[in-house]
Chains A and B, each alone.
Chain A
Amino acid sequence: MQLVLTVNGMTYEVEARPTARLLDVLRDQFGLTGTKEGCAEGECGACTVIVDGKAVNSCVMLAVQARGKEILTVEGLAQEGELDVLQQKFVEYGAVQCGYCTPGMLMSAKALLMGNPVPSEQDIRIALAGNLCRCTGYTTIVAAVKAASGQVATPLMELPAAPEELAAEVVTDPATLAAACEIVEAETGAPVGVPCLPGDDADADPFGGPGPGSSGSRVTPEGGE
Protein backbone atom coordinates (compact mmCIF):
# COMPACT_ATOMS: atom_id res chain seq x y z
CA MET A 1 0.00 0.00 0.00
CA GLN A 2 0.99 3.61 -0.60
CA LEU A 3 2.20 5.40 2.55
CA VAL A 4 3.31 8.95 3.21
CA LEU A 5 5.94 8.92 5.95
CA THR A 6 7.92 11.80 7.40
CA VAL A 7 11.31 10.50 8.46
CA ASN A 8 13.99 12.72 10.00
CA GLY A 9 12.32 15.86 8.68
CA MET A 10 11.78 14.70 5.08
CA THR A 11 8.47 13.47 3.69
CA TYR A 12 8.49 10.39 1.47
CA GLU A 13 5.95 8.35 -0.41
CA VAL A 14 6.66 4.64 -0.18
CA GLU A 15 5.00 1.47 -1.42
CA ALA A 16 4.98 -0.91 1.53
CA ARG A 17 3.49 -4.28 2.36
CA PRO A 18 0.21 -3.60 4.20
CA THR A 19 1.39 -5.40 7.32
CA ALA A 20 5.01 -4.23 7.20
CA ARG A 21 6.27 -3.06 10.56
CA LEU A 22 7.70 0.44 10.89
CA LEU A 23 11.02 -1.26 11.68
CA ASP A 24 10.95 -3.17 8.37
CA VAL A 25 10.20 -0.08 6.30
CA LEU A 26 12.86 2.03 8.02
CA ARG A 27 15.57 -0.60 7.62
CA ASP A 28 14.69 -2.26 4.32
CA GLN A 29 13.16 0.56 2.34
CA PHE A 30 14.83 3.66 3.78
CA GLY A 31 18.12 1.90 4.48
CA LEU A 32 18.10 3.38 7.97
CA THR A 33 19.79 0.42 9.62
CA GLY A 34 20.73 2.34 12.78
CA THR A 35 17.40 1.12 14.17
CA LYS A 36 18.01 -2.45 15.34
CA GLU A 37 15.82 -5.48 15.63
CA GLY A 38 16.41 -7.24 18.93
CA CYS A 39 13.65 -9.32 20.46
CA ALA A 40 10.94 -8.36 17.93
CA GLU A 41 8.46 -8.44 20.82
CA GLY A 42 8.59 -4.95 22.28
CA GLU A 43 10.72 -6.03 25.23
CA CYS A 44 14.31 -4.99 24.52
CA GLY A 45 13.97 -1.50 23.04
CA ALA A 46 16.71 -1.87 20.40
CA CYS A 47 14.19 -0.78 17.75
CA THR A 48 13.10 2.38 19.57
CA VAL A 49 12.31 5.39 17.38
CA ILE A 50 10.45 8.59 18.17
CA VAL A 51 7.01 9.07 16.63
CA ASP A 52 5.37 12.45 17.20
CA GLY A 53 7.68 13.12 20.12
CA LYS A 54 7.13 9.80 21.87
CA ALA A 55 9.48 6.82 22.05
CA VAL A 56 7.91 3.68 20.60
CA ASN A 57 9.08 0.18 19.70
CA SER A 58 9.12 0.10 15.89
CA CYS A 59 8.98 -3.72 16.00
CA VAL A 60 5.43 -3.74 17.40
CA MET A 61 4.10 -0.86 15.30
CA LEU A 62 3.01 -1.22 11.71
CA ALA A 63 4.29 1.37 9.26
CA VAL A 64 0.69 2.28 8.43
CA GLN A 65 0.21 3.42 12.02
CA ALA A 66 2.92 6.04 11.55
CA ARG A 67 1.39 7.57 8.44
CA GLY A 68 1.30 11.36 8.60
CA LYS A 69 3.41 11.41 11.77
CA GLU A 70 6.91 12.73 12.43
CA ILE A 71 9.34 9.83 12.73
CA LEU A 72 12.80 10.43 14.17
CA THR A 73 15.46 7.73 13.97
CA VAL A 74 18.99 7.66 15.33
CA GLU A 75 20.23 8.87 11.93
CA GLY A 76 18.27 12.07 12.48
CA LEU A 77 20.03 13.02 15.71
CA ALA A 78 23.23 14.48 14.28
CA GLN A 79 22.74 17.89 12.69
CA GLU A 80 25.07 19.24 9.98
CA GLY A 81 27.73 16.68 10.72
CA GLU A 82 27.72 17.44 14.43
CA LEU A 83 26.71 14.71 16.87
CA ASP A 84 23.75 15.44 19.15
CA VAL A 85 24.87 16.30 22.66
CA LEU A 86 23.46 12.92 23.83
CA GLN A 87 25.65 11.08 21.35
CA GLN A 88 28.68 13.13 22.42
CA LYS A 89 28.07 12.29 26.07
CA PHE A 90 27.57 8.59 25.28
CA VAL A 91 31.05 8.64 23.73
CA GLU A 92 32.62 10.63 26.55
CA TYR A 93 31.14 8.52 29.32
CA GLY A 94 31.89 5.18 27.74
CA ALA A 95 28.15 4.43 27.57
CA VAL A 96 28.68 2.24 24.50
CA GLN A 97 30.16 -1.22 24.55
CA CYS A 98 28.92 -3.64 21.91
CA GLY A 99 26.68 -0.87 20.61
CA TYR A 100 23.61 -2.89 19.65
CA CYS A 101 21.31 -1.26 22.19
CA THR A 102 22.80 2.20 21.69
CA PRO A 103 20.49 3.60 18.98
CA GLY A 104 17.45 2.56 21.01
CA MET A 105 18.96 3.95 24.20
CA LEU A 106 19.67 7.23 22.44
CA MET A 107 16.13 7.51 21.12
CA SER A 108 14.53 6.75 24.50
CA ALA A 109 16.84 9.29 26.12
CA LYS A 110 16.14 11.83 23.38
CA ALA A 111 12.37 11.45 23.86
CA LEU A 112 12.85 11.93 27.59
CA LEU A 113 14.89 15.12 27.17
CA MET A 114 12.43 16.50 24.61
CA GLY A 115 9.70 16.36 27.25
CA ASN A 116 11.78 16.81 30.41
CA PRO A 117 15.00 18.78 29.79
CA VAL A 118 16.32 18.31 33.35
CA PRO A 119 15.32 14.79 34.42
CA SER A 120 16.20 13.26 37.77
CA GLU A 121 18.15 10.02 37.85
CA GLN A 122 14.88 8.24 38.66
CA ASP A 123 13.23 9.86 35.59
CA ILE A 124 16.12 8.65 33.44
CA ARG A 125 15.94 5.10 34.78
CA ILE A 126 12.17 4.96 34.20
CA ALA A 127 12.55 6.32 30.65
CA LEU A 128 15.24 3.74 29.86
CA ALA A 129 13.57 0.80 31.63
CA GLY A 130 12.37 -0.55 28.28
CA ASN A 131 15.87 -0.64 26.81
CA LEU A 132 17.98 -3.64 27.69
CA CYS A 133 21.78 -3.45 27.69
CA ARG A 134 23.79 -6.58 28.40
CA CYS A 135 27.19 -4.85 28.48
CA THR A 136 27.39 -1.62 30.37
CA GLY A 137 25.45 -2.23 33.56
CA TYR A 138 23.58 0.99 32.71
CA THR A 139 25.52 3.25 35.08
CA THR A 140 27.50 4.97 32.33
CA ILE A 141 24.37 5.35 30.21
CA VAL A 142 22.46 7.05 33.00
CA ALA A 143 25.45 9.29 33.68
CA ALA A 144 25.71 10.21 29.99
CA VAL A 145 22.03 11.18 29.81
CA LYS A 146 22.39 13.22 32.96
CA ALA A 147 25.45 14.98 31.53
CA ALA A 148 23.63 15.63 28.26
CA SER A 149 20.96 17.48 30.20
CA GLY A 150 23.63 19.80 31.58
CA GLN A 151 23.70 18.21 35.03
CA VAL A 152 26.81 17.14 36.89
CA ALA A 153 27.28 13.42 36.42
CA THR A 154 29.86 11.18 37.98
CA PRO A 155 31.65 8.90 35.55
CA LEU A 156 31.81 5.21 36.41
CA MET A 157 35.48 5.39 37.36
CA GLU A 158 38.20 7.97 37.32
CA LEU A 159 40.86 6.69 34.96
CA PRO A 160 44.28 8.32 34.75
CA ALA A 161 44.10 10.51 31.69
CA ALA A 162 47.67 10.28 30.52
CA PRO A 163 49.95 7.23 30.07
CA GLU A 164 52.81 9.18 31.70
CA GLU A 165 50.92 9.18 34.98
CA LEU A 166 50.80 5.40 34.92
CA ALA A 167 54.44 5.15 33.97
CA ALA A 168 55.40 7.28 36.93
CA GLU A 169 53.78 4.74 39.27
CA VAL A 170 55.60 1.70 37.91
CA VAL A 171 58.25 0.57 40.34
CA THR A 172 61.34 -0.91 38.74
CA ASP A 173 63.82 -0.84 41.64
CA PRO A 174 64.65 -4.52 42.43
CA ALA A 175 65.18 -3.89 46.12
CA THR A 176 61.74 -2.25 46.51
CA LEU A 177 60.11 -5.08 44.55
CA ALA A 178 61.80 -7.74 46.66
CA ALA A 179 60.64 -6.00 49.83
CA ALA A 180 57.11 -5.83 48.47
CA CYS A 181 57.20 -9.56 47.68
CA GLU A 182 58.24 -10.34 51.25
CA ILE A 183 55.32 -8.35 52.61
CA VAL A 184 52.87 -10.19 50.35
CA GLU A 185 54.37 -13.56 51.27
CA ALA A 186 54.19 -12.76 54.96
CA GLU A 187 50.53 -11.69 54.73
CA THR A 188 49.22 -14.39 52.42
CA GLY A 189 51.56 -17.23 53.21
CA ALA A 190 51.83 -17.88 49.48
CA PRO A 191 55.13 -17.70 47.66
CA VAL A 192 55.43 -14.87 45.17
CA GLY A 193 57.28 -15.58 41.95
CA VAL A 194 60.16 -13.52 40.73
CA PRO A 195 58.67 -10.24 39.57
CA CYS A 196 58.76 -9.68 35.87
CA LEU A 197 60.86 -6.58 35.49
CA PRO A 198 60.65 -4.36 32.51
CA GLY A 199 63.90 -4.91 30.71
CA ASP A 200 65.46 -3.33 27.66
CA ASP A 201 62.60 -4.52 25.51
CA ALA A 202 59.93 -2.90 27.69
CA ASP A 203 58.27 -1.43 24.63
CA ALA A 204 57.56 -4.85 23.16
CA ASP A 205 54.10 -5.36 24.53
CA PRO A 206 53.14 -9.03 24.25
CA PHE A 207 49.46 -8.04 24.14
CA GLY A 208 49.93 -5.82 21.12
CA GLY A 209 49.06 -2.47 22.57
CA PRO A 210 48.32 -0.43 25.62
CA GLY A 211 45.78 -1.89 28.01
CA PRO A 212 42.45 -0.22 28.61
CA GLY A 213 43.74 1.61 31.65
CA SER A 214 46.60 3.25 29.84
CA SER A 215 44.86 4.29 26.68
CA GLY A 216 45.19 7.97 26.10
CA SER A 217 42.04 7.96 24.01
CA ARG A 218 39.82 7.21 26.98
CA VAL A 219 38.53 10.56 28.12
CA THR A 220 37.66 11.22 31.73
CA PRO A 221 34.92 13.81 31.68
CA GLU A 222 34.53 16.50 34.32
CA GLY A 223 37.32 16.51 36.81
CA GLY A 224 39.74 14.58 34.59
CA GLU A 225 42.71 16.20 32.96
Chain B
Amino acid sequence: MSQTQVLTPEGIDELVAALARATPRTRLLAGGTDLVRELRRPGDEPDVLVDLTGLTELAAVRRDGATLRVGALATFTQLQWDPLVREHALCLSLAAAQLGSAQIRNAGTIGGNIANASACADGATALTALGADVVTLDGAGETRTRPIGEVLLGAGRTSLRHDEAIIEYAFPALGSEHRSAFAKIGSRTAVSVARLSAALVVRFDAVAGVLAEVRVALGAVGESAFLVPELERALEGRAADDESARLFAEGCVAAVQASIPGRYSLPYKEQAAVGLAYDAWNMLALSAPSEPAWA
Protein backbone atom coordinates (compact mmCIF):
# COMPACT_ATOMS: atom_id res chain seq x y z
CA MET B 1 0.00 0.00 0.00
CA SER B 2 1.13 3.48 -0.80
CA GLN B 3 2.04 5.44 2.30
CA THR B 4 2.87 8.53 0.32
CA GLN B 5 1.38 11.79 1.44
CA VAL B 6 0.81 14.27 -1.37
CA LEU B 7 1.09 17.99 -0.66
CA THR B 8 -0.30 20.50 -3.14
CA PRO B 9 1.06 23.97 -2.36
CA GLU B 10 -0.78 26.71 -4.22
CA GLY B 11 1.59 29.60 -3.49
CA ILE B 12 5.16 30.38 -2.39
CA ASP B 13 4.27 30.41 1.33
CA GLU B 14 2.64 27.01 1.03
CA LEU B 15 5.64 25.76 -0.94
CA VAL B 16 8.00 26.81 1.86
CA ALA B 17 5.75 25.07 4.40
CA ALA B 18 5.73 21.91 2.25
CA LEU B 19 9.52 21.99 1.82
CA ALA B 20 9.92 22.40 5.59
CA ARG B 21 8.37 18.94 5.97
CA ALA B 22 10.68 17.35 3.42
CA THR B 23 12.95 14.45 4.36
CA PRO B 24 15.57 12.67 2.23
CA ARG B 25 12.74 10.39 1.02
CA THR B 26 10.64 13.33 -0.21
CA ARG B 27 10.26 13.93 -3.93
CA LEU B 28 9.18 17.06 -5.78
CA LEU B 29 6.78 16.55 -8.68
CA ALA B 30 6.75 19.01 -11.58
CA GLY B 31 5.65 17.70 -15.00
CA GLY B 32 5.95 14.09 -13.90
CA THR B 33 7.31 12.74 -17.18
CA ASP B 34 10.35 11.25 -15.45
CA LEU B 35 9.23 10.97 -11.82
CA VAL B 36 5.89 9.18 -12.29
CA ARG B 37 7.71 6.24 -13.88
CA GLU B 38 10.05 6.10 -10.89
CA LEU B 39 7.16 6.25 -8.42
CA ARG B 40 5.82 3.02 -9.84
CA ARG B 41 8.95 1.12 -8.92
CA PRO B 42 8.01 -0.96 -5.88
CA GLY B 43 9.74 -0.32 -2.58
CA ASP B 44 10.80 3.18 -3.50
CA GLU B 45 7.76 5.17 -2.39
CA PRO B 46 8.45 8.68 -1.13
CA ASP B 47 7.10 9.64 2.29
CA VAL B 48 5.98 13.01 0.99
CA LEU B 49 5.35 14.01 -2.60
CA VAL B 50 5.18 17.75 -3.18
CA ASP B 51 3.12 18.42 -6.30
CA LEU B 52 4.28 21.75 -7.74
CA THR B 53 1.50 21.91 -10.38
CA GLY B 54 -0.44 24.55 -8.46
CA LEU B 55 2.43 27.05 -8.41
CA THR B 56 1.44 28.79 -11.62
CA GLU B 57 3.51 31.88 -10.75
CA LEU B 58 6.63 29.75 -11.24
CA ALA B 59 5.73 29.08 -14.87
CA ALA B 60 6.37 32.61 -16.12
CA VAL B 61 9.20 33.94 -18.27
CA ARG B 62 10.11 37.57 -17.67
CA ARG B 63 12.74 40.11 -18.54
CA ASP B 64 14.34 41.79 -15.55
CA GLY B 65 16.62 44.48 -16.97
CA ALA B 66 19.47 42.67 -18.74
CA THR B 67 18.47 39.37 -17.16
CA LEU B 68 16.02 36.82 -18.47
CA ARG B 69 14.21 34.89 -15.74
CA VAL B 70 12.66 31.57 -16.70
CA GLY B 71 10.29 30.01 -14.18
CA ALA B 72 11.11 26.42 -13.25
CA LEU B 73 7.60 25.24 -14.07
CA ALA B 74 7.66 26.57 -17.64
CA THR B 75 6.93 23.64 -19.91
CA PHE B 76 8.99 22.89 -23.01
CA THR B 77 6.00 23.83 -25.19
CA GLN B 78 5.96 27.20 -23.46
CA LEU B 79 9.71 27.68 -23.94
CA GLN B 80 9.45 26.66 -27.57
CA TRP B 81 7.01 29.48 -28.35
CA ASP B 82 7.63 32.12 -25.69
CA PRO B 83 8.50 35.39 -27.49
CA LEU B 84 11.04 36.44 -24.81
CA VAL B 85 12.82 33.09 -24.98
CA ARG B 86 12.90 33.17 -28.77
CA GLU B 87 14.30 36.68 -28.77
CA HIS B 88 16.75 36.44 -25.88
CA ALA B 89 17.60 32.73 -25.58
CA LEU B 90 16.92 31.12 -28.95
CA CYS B 91 19.02 28.02 -28.20
CA LEU B 92 16.71 27.20 -25.27
CA SER B 93 13.66 27.50 -27.51
CA LEU B 94 15.32 25.26 -30.10
CA ALA B 95 16.23 22.68 -27.45
CA ALA B 96 12.66 22.71 -26.11
CA ALA B 97 11.22 22.28 -29.61
CA GLN B 98 13.28 19.13 -30.26
CA LEU B 99 12.73 17.50 -26.90
CA GLY B 100 10.51 14.42 -26.61
CA SER B 101 7.04 14.32 -28.11
CA ALA B 102 4.28 16.94 -28.06
CA GLN B 103 2.85 15.19 -24.99
CA ILE B 104 6.20 15.29 -23.16
CA ARG B 105 6.80 18.93 -24.13
CA ASN B 106 3.33 19.86 -22.88
CA ALA B 107 3.95 18.38 -19.43
CA GLY B 108 7.71 18.35 -18.90
CA THR B 109 9.27 21.40 -17.25
CA ILE B 110 12.68 23.03 -17.39
CA GLY B 111 12.83 22.73 -13.60
CA GLY B 112 12.39 18.97 -13.74
CA ASN B 113 14.87 18.69 -16.60
CA ILE B 114 17.69 19.96 -14.36
CA ALA B 115 16.50 18.44 -11.06
CA ASN B 116 16.25 15.02 -12.72
CA ALA B 117 19.80 15.55 -14.02
CA SER B 118 19.69 13.09 -16.88
CA ALA B 119 23.04 13.00 -18.68
CA CYS B 120 21.20 13.70 -21.93
CA ALA B 121 18.95 16.54 -20.70
CA ASP B 122 18.70 18.94 -23.65
CA GLY B 123 17.69 21.81 -21.35
CA ALA B 124 20.94 21.41 -19.43
CA THR B 125 23.04 21.88 -22.58
CA ALA B 126 21.17 25.06 -23.57
CA LEU B 127 21.16 26.55 -20.05
CA THR B 128 24.88 25.77 -19.66
CA ALA B 129 25.71 27.64 -22.87
CA LEU B 130 23.54 30.55 -21.72
CA GLY B 131 25.51 30.72 -18.46
CA ALA B 132 22.40 30.20 -16.38
CA ASP B 133 22.22 30.57 -12.63
CA VAL B 134 19.82 28.28 -10.79
CA VAL B 135 17.64 29.99 -8.18
CA THR B 136 16.29 27.73 -5.45
CA LEU B 137 14.00 28.05 -2.45
CA ASP B 138 14.24 25.89 0.66
CA GLY B 139 12.16 24.90 3.66
CA ALA B 140 13.48 27.83 5.68
CA GLY B 141 12.23 30.20 3.00
CA GLU B 142 15.80 31.01 1.91
CA THR B 143 16.59 31.55 -1.76
CA ARG B 144 20.00 30.61 -3.16
CA THR B 145 21.53 31.37 -6.51
CA ARG B 146 24.34 29.30 -7.99
CA PRO B 147 25.69 28.49 -11.45
CA ILE B 148 24.11 25.50 -13.17
CA GLY B 149 27.50 23.78 -13.19
CA GLU B 150 27.39 23.70 -9.38
CA VAL B 151 23.93 22.10 -9.38
CA LEU B 152 24.60 19.34 -11.92
CA LEU B 153 27.07 16.92 -10.35
CA GLY B 154 26.67 13.94 -12.67
CA ALA B 155 24.09 11.60 -14.17
CA GLY B 156 21.09 11.72 -11.81
CA ARG B 157 23.10 13.66 -9.22
CA THR B 158 22.65 17.28 -8.16
CA SER B 159 23.70 19.46 -5.26
CA LEU B 160 20.03 20.19 -4.49
CA ARG B 161 19.16 19.44 -0.89
CA HIS B 162 16.01 17.45 -0.17
CA ASP B 163 14.17 20.57 0.99
CA GLU B 164 15.36 22.70 -1.90
CA ALA B 165 13.26 23.39 -5.00
CA ILE B 166 14.43 25.06 -8.20
CA ILE B 167 12.18 28.08 -8.70
CA GLU B 168 13.80 29.79 -11.68
CA TYR B 169 16.81 30.23 -13.95
CA ALA B 170 18.45 33.58 -14.50
CA PHE B 171 20.90 34.45 -17.27
CA PRO B 172 21.94 37.44 -19.37
CA ALA B 173 19.28 38.09 -22.04
CA LEU B 174 20.93 37.77 -25.44
CA GLY B 175 20.77 40.98 -27.46
CA SER B 176 20.73 41.84 -31.14
CA GLU B 177 24.52 41.25 -31.42
CA HIS B 178 24.07 37.68 -30.18
CA ARG B 179 23.24 34.53 -32.06
CA SER B 180 22.58 31.17 -30.50
CA ALA B 181 21.93 27.65 -31.73
CA PHE B 182 21.12 24.19 -30.46
CA ALA B 183 21.54 20.93 -32.31
CA LYS B 184 21.31 17.32 -31.29
CA ILE B 185 21.76 13.86 -32.67
CA GLY B 186 19.47 11.02 -31.77
CA SER B 187 18.23 7.79 -33.23
CA ARG B 188 15.45 9.51 -35.17
CA THR B 189 14.19 13.00 -35.96
CA ALA B 190 11.47 13.27 -33.33
CA VAL B 191 10.94 11.87 -29.82
CA SER B 192 14.59 11.14 -29.59
CA VAL B 193 16.85 11.03 -26.56
CA ALA B 194 20.01 12.93 -27.42
CA ARG B 195 23.12 10.87 -28.11
CA LEU B 196 24.99 14.13 -28.39
CA SER B 197 23.80 17.73 -28.10
CA ALA B 198 25.49 21.08 -28.60
CA ALA B 199 24.48 24.63 -27.76
CA LEU B 200 26.39 27.59 -29.07
CA VAL B 201 26.06 31.24 -28.04
CA VAL B 202 28.12 33.91 -29.77
CA ARG B 203 28.31 37.68 -29.70
CA PHE B 204 29.28 38.85 -33.15
CA ASP B 205 30.99 42.21 -33.49
CA ALA B 206 29.66 43.27 -36.88
CA VAL B 207 31.98 46.31 -37.09
CA ALA B 208 35.18 44.33 -36.58
CA GLY B 209 33.62 41.30 -38.26
CA VAL B 210 34.74 38.95 -35.51
CA LEU B 211 33.30 36.59 -32.92
CA ALA B 212 33.63 38.70 -29.78
CA GLU B 213 32.35 36.18 -27.25
CA VAL B 214 31.73 32.45 -27.66
CA ARG B 215 30.15 29.90 -25.36
CA VAL B 216 30.01 26.25 -26.33
CA ALA B 217 28.24 23.57 -24.32
CA LEU B 218 28.09 19.87 -25.09
CA GLY B 219 25.61 17.41 -23.62
CA ALA B 220 24.91 13.67 -23.56
CA VAL B 221 28.63 13.02 -23.72
CA GLY B 222 29.78 12.34 -20.20
CA GLU B 223 27.68 12.72 -17.07
CA SER B 224 26.50 16.33 -17.32
CA ALA B 225 26.49 19.10 -19.88
CA PHE B 226 29.77 21.05 -19.83
CA LEU B 227 31.39 24.13 -21.34
CA VAL B 228 34.44 23.91 -23.60
CA PRO B 229 36.46 26.99 -22.53
CA GLU B 230 39.59 26.28 -24.57
CA LEU B 231 37.49 26.11 -27.74
CA GLU B 232 35.65 29.29 -26.79
CA ARG B 233 38.98 31.16 -26.37
CA ALA B 234 40.29 29.75 -29.67
CA LEU B 235 37.27 31.09 -31.56
CA GLU B 236 37.07 34.51 -29.96
CA GLY B 237 38.50 37.23 -32.17
CA ARG B 238 38.15 35.13 -35.32
CA ALA B 239 36.01 35.88 -38.36
CA ALA B 240 32.84 33.83 -38.84
CA ASP B 241 34.23 31.96 -41.82
CA ASP B 242 34.75 28.39 -43.04
CA GLU B 243 38.06 28.18 -41.18
CA SER B 244 36.32 29.04 -37.89
CA ALA B 245 33.62 26.49 -38.61
CA ARG B 246 36.30 23.84 -39.12
CA LEU B 247 38.06 24.91 -35.92
CA PHE B 248 34.75 24.70 -34.07
CA ALA B 249 34.07 21.19 -35.36
CA GLU B 250 37.59 20.04 -34.47
CA GLY B 251 37.23 21.53 -31.02
CA CYS B 252 33.94 19.71 -30.47
CA VAL B 253 35.52 16.41 -31.54
CA ALA B 254 38.47 16.97 -29.20
CA ALA B 255 36.07 17.74 -26.33
CA VAL B 256 34.10 14.56 -27.03
CA GLN B 257 37.33 12.52 -27.09
CA ALA B 258 38.48 14.05 -23.82
CA SER B 259 35.11 13.50 -22.15
CA ILE B 260 34.56 9.83 -22.88
CA PRO B 261 38.00 8.29 -23.57
CA GLY B 262 37.74 4.61 -24.38
CA ARG B 263 33.94 4.55 -24.16
CA TYR B 264 32.31 2.12 -26.61
CA SER B 265 30.32 4.99 -28.12
CA LEU B 266 33.40 7.16 -28.77
CA PRO B 267 34.07 6.06 -32.38
CA TYR B 268 30.48 6.98 -33.23
CA LYS B 269 30.30 10.19 -31.24
CA GLU B 270 33.59 11.62 -32.48
CA GLN B 271 32.33 11.27 -36.05
CA ALA B 272 28.85 12.49 -35.19
CA ALA B 273 30.30 15.53 -33.44
CA VAL B 274 31.56 16.87 -36.76
CA GLY B 275 28.13 16.91 -38.38
CA LEU B 276 26.56 18.20 -35.20
CA ALA B 277 29.06 21.04 -34.96
CA TYR B 278 28.40 22.13 -38.53
CA ASP B 279 24.64 21.97 -37.95
CA ALA B 280 24.93 24.25 -34.92
CA TRP B 281 27.41 26.54 -36.63
CA ASN B 282 25.25 26.99 -39.73
CA MET B 283 22.23 27.74 -37.53
CA LEU B 284 24.00 30.91 -36.42
CA ALA B 285 23.64 32.12 -40.01
CA LEU B 286 26.62 34.45 -39.69
CA SER B 287 27.94 33.49 -43.11
CA ALA B 288 27.07 31.21 -46.00
CA PRO B 289 26.62 27.63 -44.79
CA SER B 290 29.90 25.78 -44.21
CA GLU B 291 30.38 22.11 -44.90
CA PRO B 292 32.72 19.55 -43.40
CA ALA B 293 35.55 18.49 -45.71
CA TRP B 294 33.97 15.10 -46.44
CA ALA B 295 30.53 16.48 -47.33
In the complex, per-residue mask of B74-118: 1 if CB is within 8 Å of any chain A CB, else 0? 000100000000000000000000001111101100000000000
Partner of A60, one of B32, B45, B51, B102: B32
B37 close to chain A: CB less than 8 A: yes
B103–A41 CB distance below 8 A: no
In the complex, per-residue mask of A37-69: 1 if CB is within 8 Å of any chain B CB, else 0? 000111101001000001111011110110100
Binds B, one of A84-92, A125-133, A192-200: A125-133
B36–A129 CB distance below 8 A: no
Q: Which 8 interchain pairs have the tightest Cβ spacing?
A: A130-B101, A129-B190, A54-B106, A18-B6, A60-B36, A57-B103, A65-B53, A130-B103
A108 close to chain B: CB less than 8 A: yes
A111 close to chain B: CB less than 8 A: yes
Q: What CA separation (Å) do A65 and B6 show in the bound complex?
A: 11
CB distance from B235 to the nearest CB of A (A): 33
Partner of A48, one of B29, B77, B103: B103
Q: What CA separation (Å) do A199 and B195 show in the bound complex?
A: 63
Contact size class for B? 20 to 34
- Of residues 22 through 48 on chain A, the ones whose CB sits less than 8 Å from some CB of chain B are 40-43, 45, 48
- Of residues 41 through 96 on chain B, the ones whose CB sits less than 8 Å from some CB of chain A are 45, 49, 51, 53, 77
CB distance from A141 to the nearest CB of B (A): 15
In the complex, per-residue mask of A81-101: 1 if CB is within 8 Å of any chain B CB, else 0? 000000000000000000000
B101–A61 CB distance below 8 A: no
A170 close to chain B: CB less than 8 A: no
Partner of B103, one of A18, A40, A55, A65: A55
CB distance from A14 to the nearest CB of B (A): 14
Please list 9 pairs of residues, one from A and one from B, whose beta carbons are closer than 8 Å in the complex, sorted by A's number. Answer: A18-B5, A19-B4, A42-B103, A45-B103, A59-B36, A60-B33, A60-B34, A61-B32, A129-B102
B29–A45 CB distance below 8 A: no
Chain A residues with Cβ under 8 A from B49's Cβ? 18-19
B32–A130 CB distance below 8 A: no
Given A1-B6, A65-B29, A67-B8, A126-B106 contact (CB < 8 Å): no
B212 close to chain A: CB less than 8 A: no
- Chain B residue nearest to A57 (CB atoms) is B103
A126–B45 CB distance below 8 A: no
A18–B37 CB distance below 8 A: no
Q: What CA separation (Å) do A40 and B100 show in the bound complex?
A: 15
Partner of B37, one of A60, A64, A67, A129: A60
Chain A residues with Cβ under 8 A from B176's Cβ? none
B263 close to chain A: CB less than 8 A: no
- Chain A residue nearest to B190 (CB atoms) is A129
Q: What CA separation (Å) do A60 and B107 show in the bound complex?
A: 9
Chain A residues with Cβ under 8 A from B6's Cβ? 1, 18-19, 62, 64
A218 close to chain B: CB less than 8 A: no
From B2, B6, B32, B40, residue with most partner A Cβ within 10 Å: B32
A64–B33 CB distance below 8 A: no
Chain B residues with Cβ under 8 A from A1's Cβ? 6
Q: What CA separation (Å) do A127 and B5 show in the bound complex?
A: 35
CB distance from A145 to the nearest CB of B (A): 13
